[in-house]
Structure 1
């Protein structure tokens, strides 16, 4: 299996982070990518640099207004007298169906859901290369490979079509799913990150061609708070094509795997031709966000169970933060997935 990754993704190095009203070191550091790449290579994957695919992958799921904002906002922000080193919103609209502001400050509030997605000089470049990794991994699978791993950093599943948030700018999992639509009428996205993939849900919420399924810590007391509840089933043509499985805080291996069984049953009922795994490793019992309590052997079991679907699969890296178990958790997942994953030649037709 290929690990698709570009070192240029490390150029994004956010400094600002606010948690419970207090400044703290930002956990979305370039070191995450170093640890994950080392683990992937040690697991036998071979690295491949994604080609420069321009704006097309991002434009397949994001609005041109938003992409223009991401491309130019840092330069515009620096023209403001006394501006912060990074773009950080200080005002948010109470609705998003009104006038579109002309000012950089107003647009930052409009396009950034929270303060956990600061934009620096290299943020857009890094996010675009992360999106290229996801798209290229999807193109490999579309071309006949059974699976590919996109080491995406910065991550993407909190990014809506026109809104950044939670360390995310471009929705890599959505980009991969949209690319796979070129080979099959139906694609499923399974998100196993500790946080609900609210951006992914939002992008596909009114669509019936992409099923979105998410296992995550119950958002009533956990980020992203306002999305990820069990009664969110989709709307319009997408009604019944979104399935959330919120889990009690500190849920461990057995509880997670029981929920995963329900998720996989729903995916099988959708009969997709390809699968995207939004591979968060932050459900780990030792992850700094401490939402769930999956063990390292648990990730091996999770990988093996998902692989039983036998679908062409793109693994897209989402969360999973620097801790002693990060690399081992990826290795365990890949080991379990690789030991079980077999794609019948008719799959994806």
Structure 2
């Protein structure tokens, strides 16, 4: 039976508000998301295991040391200087190639890519616990011999790069999981099915050929993160040809998404992936408040079934998916479809020619 992981410390962070088109609005990445998703896990008959603490080494393998120090230290420094309740940037550099800023306001602008990732007194605790959840699920697969595991990560991670938070994301859980898998497997693929492009994940692995990144998402010409996620972004250096983006027109539903998934799974097969991380966004749902795509609960079941055909160890890392009437149902359908196909394929493999 699949193992699922979650820590109550992941509920401690709440960013409250962010700026959308110049207006202050509630952040939809709320603790209630995790509570709803955990209900779907229970309905599946799975227990939520508390993650072990693997320390900073797996996180430091992905994220820059100055960035990690910033996330841990900026809140008390900001408060001591008379700052607002939350650390929110009010200035951003043209680029990040100049001197590293000494001033706390400058560092906030340097490391926080937009207003959707404010830092509070509890942000680091939740982000760290979320990363440990992904690490424990990964170790269960890598070291425990399981064919799959689910990490209920909250806050999510795929918009976080080595040095920059963004899009509700602070630590890139999917990237951390992939790097941990690389300790055993030569070739790892990250398949991102979130509504939004996984720009942080792409940034981290863009010049590498050992980790293939693939993302199906709403067309960034019209949707966040806007500047990344276009089809012509294929990698650089050793990574040329190992980054694949499939942007979908706004409003696309089950059929369009599943066709894109078929093309993506074929690329993973051609790559010869030894292990896969699925950046499991559920916000492509027709009921999600972001409203970019229109995948149905039955569509998520089919997405899970198709991904379950991959004949290699798979770690499911929760990304987006926001409070709606079908959020729990979408996760239930995805994991049900995935597990049924995954288990059937494992039986087929074990009963192959001797």
With the length of structure 1 as denominator, give the TM-score of the two structures: 0.98
Matches within 5 A, 1:4-23: 4-23=5-24
The structural deviation recorded for 1:345 is 6.0
Q: After the TM superposition, which segments of 4 or more aligned residues of structure 1 sit over 4 Å from their partners?
A: none
Distance 2:54 2:71 in 1: 17
Matches within 5 A, 1:107-146: 107-143=107-143, 144-146=145-147
Distance 2:158 2:67 in 1: 16
Distance 2:115 2:312 in 1: 37
Matches within 5 A, 1:141-180: 141-143=141-143, 144-180=145-181
Matches within 5 A, 1:164-313: 164-313=165-314
Q: Could you give the per-residue CA deviations for residues 275-305 of structure 1, whole angstroms, max 9, x where no partner exists?
A: 0000000000010000000000000000000
- Give the match's secondary structure for 2:298: helix
- Give the match's secondary structure for 1:220: coil
Structure 2: state its 5+ residue gaps. none
Q: Could you give the per-residue CA deviations for residues 152-183 of structure 1, whole angstroms, max 9, x where no partner exists?
A: 00000000001000000000000000010011
- Give the match's secondary structure for 2:245: strand
Q: Could you give the per-residue CA deviations for residues 175-199 of structure 1, whole angstroms, max 9, x where no partner exists?
A: 0000100111000000000000000
Q: Could you give the per-residue CA deviations for residues 52-84 of structure 1, whole angstroms, max 9, x where no partner exists?
A: 222122111001111011110111110122x11
The structural deviation recorded for 1:16 is 2.0
- Give the match's secondary structure for 1:17: strand
Distance 2:58 2:159 in 1: 17
The structural deviation recorded for 1:248 is 0.1
Distance 1:217 1:79 in 2: 41
Distance 2:312 2:257 in 1: 21
Give the RMSD, CA atoms, in angstroms: 1.0
Corresponding residue for residue 84 of structure 2: 84
- Give the match's secondary structure for 1:190: strand
Distance 2:53 2:304 in 1: 30
Corresponding residue for residue 41 of structure 2: 40
Q: Could you give the per-residue CA deviations for residues 297-338 of structure 1, whole angstroms, max 9, x where no partner exists?
A: 000000000111122000000000000000000000011001
Distance 1:345 1:203 in 2: 35
Distance 2:63 2:350 in 1: 33
- Give the match's secondary structure for 2:17: coil
Distance 2:18 2:40 in 1: 27
Deviates more, 1:247-256 or 1:334-343: 334-343
Structure 1: state its 5+ residue gaps. none
